[in-house]
A and B are shown apart, each in its own frame.
Chain A
Amino acid sequence: MAEQTTTIVSVTAEALSVRYVEPDWLRKMRAGAWEIFQAAPSPKLEKTDLRDRSWDIGPYADEPGSPSEEAEALVGELAGQAYVHVRNGVAVAVHLPEALAAQGVVMTDLHTAVRDHADLVKAHLGTVVKPDEGKWAALNAALWHGGIFVYVPRNVVVDTPVHFVYEETGQAAGGAPRALVVADEHSALSYVEVFLTAGSQPDKVHTGVTEVIAKTGAKVTAAAVGGYRKGPANFSVRRAHIGNDASVDWVFADIGDGFSVVLLESDLAGDGSASTVQGIGIGTGRQHLDLTASVLHHGRYSTSDIQLHGAMKDRANAIYRSSTHIFKGAVGAGSEQHDRMLMLDKRARADAIPMLLIDENDVQRCGHAASVGRIDQNQVYYLMSRGIPRSEATKMIIWGYLEPTVQRIPSEVVRTHLVRRIDRELEA
């Protein structure tokens, strides 16, 4: 079959390497990824048609440009906390509280980290999301611009959240942020990324990659709040590599009307490793969201729990897939999946697709449940029977459906931000 997507890229890997005076290893890594990107066929997705999408990204701005109101407010509230703020690929603020620096925690924008923490970055970058795993992972590896690097040393417990605020203001032409989060042995960290994107041209690409590494005994909560707007095609890969007795708890929220293909994955490599994936989404307008939450069980006695709750408005169309794969040798592994989709409008469409692959005979319970439905009229009646008007009752029920996940976001500022965003969507 003929290649139908067009590739026009207005930025080159070489130009980025020059701009950031990158070391040789990174220059080679970008160039290699670029080769892979060019050679890779356009992906064929079962439920998402990519034929009308082109692979154009850039040109990257030299200056960050002026902030969006939303991002400015959010960053204002983060004053005094740990955060990296990137606008249109350019780092505009890096703030690491004294107390964290004293513990040996590293947190800076990824370009700076390449220079100042070369060994740590080199040892980990591209090890969890590899350039050759697919077209958009390769594109990000070749052209990533703007990002964060977090490193928590052995035995260090960071008890305040670390934030990555990534903002595209619409002047940008797509983007390719990259996050690298490394929790060394027996450390603990809460990491929260917030992506705020104003729409831009529909023929652009946004491709984000987040790599999380939890070494032996490390405990990481990783939250991702995204709001992709109508315009570019968004491809996002977030993956955690989880060592012996380590855990990564993902919390994610996606609110928007964009065109997105999203993968969120935990690789339970270590024995006794654990991961939960808890996600919510509100689709509006003509959103197309193709989301996969996936757990790969390699370690013995590894456990996982995926819980997805989506609410679709207007003409949104969402596919929520949860996938658990228990590989041969993952003796004693156990997993749960619960997916629910709520359709709030007649024209909204949703699929909840559970996938469970078990290659090992000796496993614990592996349960899954998936449903697509509408608001339960018995619940509405019950609330109304106590005097609450229908519209408010409906809102309370939807909130109740989303709230437990919102509460798990490990940053009060981001939680409040998300609550406001959800309120705004439910009012509209």
Chain B
Amino acid sequence: MQENTLGKGWYGMAGPLFHIEDLHVSVEDKEIVRGLNLTLKGGEIHAIMGPNGTGKSTLASALMGHPAYEIIGGKVTLDGEDVLEMSVDERARKGMFLAMQYPAEVPGVSNANFIRTALNARLGEGNEIPVMKFHRELQAQMKRLNIDPVFAERYLNEGFSGGEKKRNEILQMVMLKPRVVILDEIDSGLDIDALKIVAEAVNSMRSPEVTFLIITHYQRLLQYIVPDFVHVMMQGRIVRSGGRELAERLEAEGYDWLKHELGIEDETVGVQA
């Protein structure tokens, strides 16, 4: 690490290369992700769409290392390093970040204390951010995300509304400045103004040193955050990839045409593929 500023590209290294190869994930002995391939490069924004229950959140959780999700096959690397060998916190310190569909509530732990501890963990011993500087930065970012300053001292996610939780995930993202960002339904529960603010935050982080994987059901988010690639997930794998026009067609026509083309009857992972 070169410097402990909060400026862009604090890692001072080239853009990330995140590679998923033939990934298989099971939950409670049921295979949910079934042979998924995807490569994310610095500067790119990938969107994943797909009907309910097709394994999108499972993919995101497995990439982050959630203990309930068992990797039963495949490879995941970040800049050539084996991600699946890393503990959850190591993945985060390497620059991975997942904005969760359902973030946990942690009573008694203040939001500010949590974010500062996380940031210092990421900066590493000896490079901790001075307290005053942290609070200035936190307040500035909260203001920008239109989060009431009292949320700094509220307990982490406890009693937050759906939309407040999502904005708090984005606050963590802009504070931690990760390199591989996975957003799982960040738009659900957000009002239109909040959606624009969140999109602006994502767009401002867009650089050759960051790559994004955005899971969403709605084309609307993708009007604000324009993706380079759109992938459709069904039955636990990517069944179609394209550009932004793919998202537009799905928005207009739904998934039936695609299922028809692919000869898929049940798109979920509920029955055997």
Contact = CB atoms under 8 A, between A and B. Distances in A.
B121 A387 contact: yes
A382 B117 contact: no
A387 B89 contact: yes
Most buried by A among B91, B106, B117: B106
Given A376-B104, A387-B176, A381 B118 contact: no
Nearest to A405: B108
Nearest to A309: B108
A86 interface: no
Interface residues of A, dominant DSSP: helix
Given A385-B92, A403-B108, 4 more contacts: A382-B104, A383-B114, A385-B98, A392-B121
25 contacts: A376-B104, A382-B100, A382-B104, A383-B114, A384-B87, A384-B88, A384-B92, A385-B88, A385-B92, A386-B92, A386-B118, A386-B122, A386-B176, A387-B176, A388-B118, A392-B117, A396-B106, A396-B109, A397-B106, A397-B108, A397-B109, A400-B107, A400-B156, A403-B108, A403-B109
Contacts of A396: 106, 109, 113-114, 117
Interface of A: 376-379, 381-390, 392-393, 396-397, 399-404
A214 B103 CA distance: 45
Most buried by B among A377, A381, A385: A385
Interface in B62-107: 64-67, 87-89, 91-93, 97-98, 100, 103-107
A379 B172 CA distance: 16
B134 interface: no
Contacts of A400: 106-109, 155-156
Interface residues of B, number: 31
A390 B65 CA distance: 13
A340 to B, nearest CB: 10
A384 B106 contact: no
Contacts of A389: 89, 121
Given A381-B66, A381-B88, A382-B100, A388 B121 contact: yes
A391 to B, nearest CB: 10
A388 B89 contact: yes
Nearest 10 A/B pairs, CB to CB: A400-B108, A386-B118, A387-B92, A382-B104, A400-B109, A384-B88, A387-B121, A384-B89, A387-B122, A403-B108
